[in-house]
Copies of this chain bind each other. A is one copy, B any other.
Amino acid sequence: MLRRVLIANRGEIAVRIARACHAEGLEAVLAVSDADRGSLGAQLADRAICIGPAPATESYLDIDRLLAAATVTGCDALHPGYGFVSERPELPEACAEAGVTFVGPSAAAMRRSGDKATARAAARALGIPIGDGSDLLASAREAREVADQLGYPVLLKAAAGGGGRGMRRVQGPGEMPAVFTAAAAEAQQAFGDGRLFMERFVTSARHVEVQVLADGQGKVIHLGHRDCTLQRRYQKLVEEAPADGLAPGIGDDVLDAATRLIGSMDYQGAATCEFLVDAERATSAFLEINARLQVEHPVSEMVTGVDVVREQLRIAGGAPLSVTQADVAPAGHAIEARINAESPSRGFMPAPGTLERWVQPSGPGVRVDTACFPGWTITPYYDSLLAKVIVHARDRLEALERLRGALGDLHVAGVPTTAGFVMDVLAHPDVRSGRVHTRWLEETFVPSWSPRVAA
């Protein structure tokens, strides 16, 4: 059993984890940067300890400082949250060295699952479709050979990373050398690893993913699937559970594939398996594994009633999962909208500032995960996420309507927000009918969108 958990993160997820710790009867210690001493997480944790100055490189990205914070405060476990160092295998390694339980997979399992090329190979070995594409590409020449066989356009992707960095579309053979070099350089800079592989570019793709929990003792269950097709520059904007309107068999296929794949990896903790669903061909292809908690985990919680963060803590403490697969019966429909401190009319430029006003929605089927409160200052050091507004309703249309209502009851002054933009997205006929793909926001919606006057 664990006793005291260091939360190596900030913002809404630090609040979320602190509350889950308390629900599990654990003490929560929050590592904060100098800029976050007064944060909501620091207020809610049993203790906050300042680890370094505001820049993340000297605070939330510094594994040594995080471990020092854990050890000097007597923590016996560390929860990495998402982002920052949560996907760096050096973190579970450092935890193991310091005798601190890492809330997540072992470094080895993180490497197995986190590397895209390795994970693709593992999926292929299990007979899970991985989509047309390549293994690691040695050179631009090899890339062109593979692409000639697949047919253009193709997508170059970084083996090590995510978030769109190192990812480039190649329209034809002529541009392959230049794009290959650029993508490899970008991947090298972002992840310290310039290796690339290739996928066929899917014209009308949906992003579908499966939330998996593995207890590290052989038990692996899923919490159903999610749809995260609404993205802008590879950043998810709106996430749903379940993924409605999949072609027959696809939903069961990805659930089965995800549990088998994670089950093959000696994995412990929460993981997400991402799939690309080709709406035209009615096929699914495994994309990658996220070996950590994800921003959009609440939608799975809403439809299943399972608290993912508490299960993470239970697993790390050696307890069995509190649910069996048979207990998991997703009910209704949940949608999450990420609301950022950004100005949609200025190219979504992040806009730090002090929250002169912060009134969040509430009511039946409404949940807000946030670290905001009136008077809190959004600093420029970190991402611009203000809140995740999550709703649960009986079906998708009711959930869409409820989410729009909830966003209308979000009152913010002091920083611009993307709430109005998201409300417009939710009202669009293509979204209501589910006829969107992963580039719909950028290619169809954003170009035609203009902010309403006096919102």
Write the residues of chain A forming the contact surface with B, with a CB cutoff of 8 angstroms.
Answer: 15-16, 19-20, 22-23, 40, 43-44, 298, 301-302, 305-307, 327, 331-332, 357, 359, 361-370, 373-375, 392-394, 401-402, 405, 408-409, 411
Q: Of B307, B394, B411, which is within 8 A of A305 by CB?
A: B394
State whether B44 touches A359 (Cβ < 8 A).
Answer: yes
Tell me the bound Cα distance from A370 to B402 in angstroms. 19
Q: Are A19 and B361 within 8 A (Cβ)?
A: yes
> Does B373 lie within 8 Å of A362, measured CB to CB?
no
Residues of B within 8 A of A364 (CB): 298, 301-302, 305-307, 367
Q: Which residues of chain B have C-beta atoms less than 8 A from A375's C-beta?
A: 374
In the complex, what residue of chain B is closest to A390 when comparing beta carbons?
Answer: B364
Q: Which residue of B lies closest to A18 (CB)?
A: B409
> Is there contact, CB below 8 Å, between B402 and A23?
yes
Please state if B298 and A23 are interface contacts (CB–CB under 8 Å). Answer: no
Contact: B409 with A19, CB < 8 Å? yes
Task: Point out the residues of chain B lying under 8 angstroms from A359, CB to CB.
Answer: 40, 43-44, 373
Complex Cα–Cα for A375 and B302 (A): 32
| Set B298, B366, B409: member contacting A44, Cβ < 8 A | B409
Give every chain B residue within 8 A of A331 (Cβ-Cβ). 331
Cβ–Cβ contact A411 & B43, under 8 A: yes
Copies of this subunit: 2
Given A19-B409, A23-B363, 20 extra CB contacts under 8 A: A19-B361, A20-B363, A22-B405, A22-B408, A23-B401, A23-B405, A40-B359, A43-B357, A44-B409, A301-B364, A305-B332, A305-B365, A305-B393, A306-B364, A307-B363, A327-B394, A363-B367, A367-B367, A373-B374, A374-B374
A11 to chain B, nearest CB (A): 13
In the complex, 7 of the A-B residue pairs with CB atoms within 8 angstroms, ordered by the A residue number, are A15-B362, A19-B409, A22-B408, A23-B401, A305-B364, A306-B364, A367-B367
Q: How far is the CA of A393 from the CA of B43 in the complex (A)?
A: 26
Question: Closest Cβ of chain B: how far from A102's Cβ, in Å?
Answer: 23
Q: Which residue of B lies closest to A15 (CB)?
A: B362
B363:A19 contact, CB within 8 angstroms: yes
**CA–CA, A44 and B357, complex, Å:** 12
| Chain B contacts for A363, CB-based, 8 A | 16, 19-20, 23, 307, 367, 369
By beta carbon, the residue of chain B nearest A24 is B405
Complex contacts, A409 vs chain B, CB 8 Å: 19, 22, 44
Complex CA gap A394/B305 in Å reads 7
Closest to A392 in B: B305
What is the distance, in angstroms, from A320's C-beta to the closest C-beta of chain B?
16
Cα of A375 to Cα of B23 in the assembled complex, Å:
28
Q: Please report the C-alpha to C-alpha distance between residue A357 and residue B305 in the assembled complex, in whole angstroms.
A: 30
Which chain B residues lie closer than 8 Å to A20 at the CB level? 363
7 tightest A-B CB contacts, nearest first: A23-B405, A301-B364, A307-B364, A305-B394, A19-B409, A19-B363, A22-B408
A394 → B minimal CB distance (Å): 5
A401 CA / B305 CA spacing, docked (Å): 14
Q: Is the CB of B373 within 8 A of A367?
A: no
Q: Using Cβ atoms and an 8 Å threshold, which residues of chain B touch A23?
A: 363, 401-402, 405
Contacts of A16 in B (CB 8 A): 363
Q: Which of A15, A43, A363, A365 has its CB near the most chain B CB atoms (within 10 A)?
A: A363
CA–CA, A15 and B361, complex, Å: 10
A373 to B364, CA, bound (A): 19
A40, A362, A401, A409: which has the most chain B beta carbons within 10 Å? A362
CA of A20 to CA of B361, assembled, Å: 11
Which residues of B lie under 8 Å from residue A405 when comparing CB positions?
19, 22-23
Give the complex CA separation of A132 and B367 in angstroms: 45
Nearest CB of B to A79, in Å: 15
Report the minimum CB–CB distance from A256 to chain B (whole Å): 24
In angstroms, Cα B370 to Cα A302, docked, is 21
Q: How far is the CA of A122 from the CA of B183 in the complex (A)?
A: 79
The interface centre, meaning the residue of A22, A375, A405 with most chain B CB atoms within 10 A of its CB, is A405
Cα–Cα, bound, A104→B154 (Å): 62
